[in-house]
Amino acid sequence: MPHSVVSARRQTTLTTTPDGVERKYYVVDAAGVPLGRLAVQVANVLMGKHRPGYTPHIDTGENIIVINAKQVEMTGNKGEQNLKMRYTEYPGGLKVRTYAQVREAKAEQLISDAVRRMMPKNRLSRVMLKKLYVFDGKEHTFAANKPVPMTVL
């Protein structure tokens, strides 16, 4: 019996290589945008999930610039009820602040922590997070990179 004929056309899976990734700069205005919605969409672009050639084990994400971090919104009573806790490893060293206090003191930390928690928990996410730049005001230092505005829905 003759063997079955194998098709000459062979399907191949295309994988993205780190050399083939062309990164853009996106600027996001956080004024009036809920914190969780901002964090989800920024994390997806940082990981590269918006690209058709997304590969989980390769950094295919973009650079993100977040401006107006102090004006990020928290729905409901989250600003007063959610707590950011930090322990100094000393007895009685538990530092507790509300999200509203953190937003006034270090708004960039509030946004970067929210985005960090949306990322995968591995070594690659630490590399991806280095492409996130958060600024309190409207000015940023990346005008020479010609950032493209990104809207958060």
pLDDT digit string (tens) for 44-73?
Answer: 999 999 998 888 999 999 999 999 999 999
Query: In Å, how far are 1, 4, 10, 113, 137 from 108, measured between CA atoms?
Result: 71, 63, 49, 8, 10
Q: Which residues of the chain have pLDDT under 50?
A: none
pLDDT at 16: 82
Within a domain: 79: no
Residue 78 within a domain: no
Would you say residue 129 lies in a domain? yes
| Domain annotation covers residue 127 | yes
Would you state the pLDDT for residue 79?
93
Q: What is the pLDDT of residue 114?
A: 96
Positions of E strands within the chain: 25-29, 63-67, 83-87, 94-98, 132-134, 148-150
For 137, the domain range is 23-73+108-150
What distance in Å separates the CA atoms of residue 30 and residue 42, rounded to the nearest whole number?
Answer: 11
Q: Considering the domain boundaries, does residue 114 fall inside one? A: yes
pLDDT at site 126: 94
Identify whether 1 is part of a domain: no
pTM of the model: 0.86
pLDDT for residue 17 = 86
Asked whether residue 112 is domain-assigned, the answer is yes
Indicate the number of domains in the chain: 1
- CATH number for 67: 3.90.1180.10
* Residue 146: inside a domain: yes
